[in-house]
Amino acid sequence: MDMDVDMVEQMTKKATILFPPALYKELQAEARRQGRSVGELVREAATARYGSGGVRERLDAVERLVRLADDVPDDPAQMEEEIIRGALER
């Protein structure tokens, strides 16, 4: 998630979070790998866990995933046949 000017302008609340040293080192290393700040990682994690939409949005997403599974054959042989057929059609 790249920070843009609009997002920065919308952020008006600040929190101080204390981490165990080992966890903070891991966060710093991951932030470095991704070319991001520790703050961005923490905001992304908080948004993913508690963010917009709430319970109803997450339940709707689960229902959509379940509907996707409805199209998957129960028979492994049929599933294999469909996979092979799809690969040959490419």
Q: What is the pLDDT of residues 68-80, one digit of tens each?
A: 877 777 888 988 8
Number of domains in the chain: 2
Q: What is the pLDDT of residues 30-43, one digit of tens each?
A: 999 999 999 999 99
The span from the CA of 28 to the CA of 9, in Å, is 24
Average pLDDT over residues 26-53: 90
Asked whether residue 9 is domain-assigned, the answer is no
89 and 60 in a common domain: yes
Asked whether residue 4 is domain-assigned, the answer is no
DSSP string covering 28-78: HHHHHHHT--HHHHHHHHHHHHH-TTHHHHHHHHHHHHHHHHTTS-SSHHH
Asked whether residue 6 is domain-assigned, the answer is no
Q: Domain span at residue 22?
A: 15-51
Whether the model clears a pTM of 0.85, i.e. scores above it, the answer is no
62 and 35 in a common domain: no
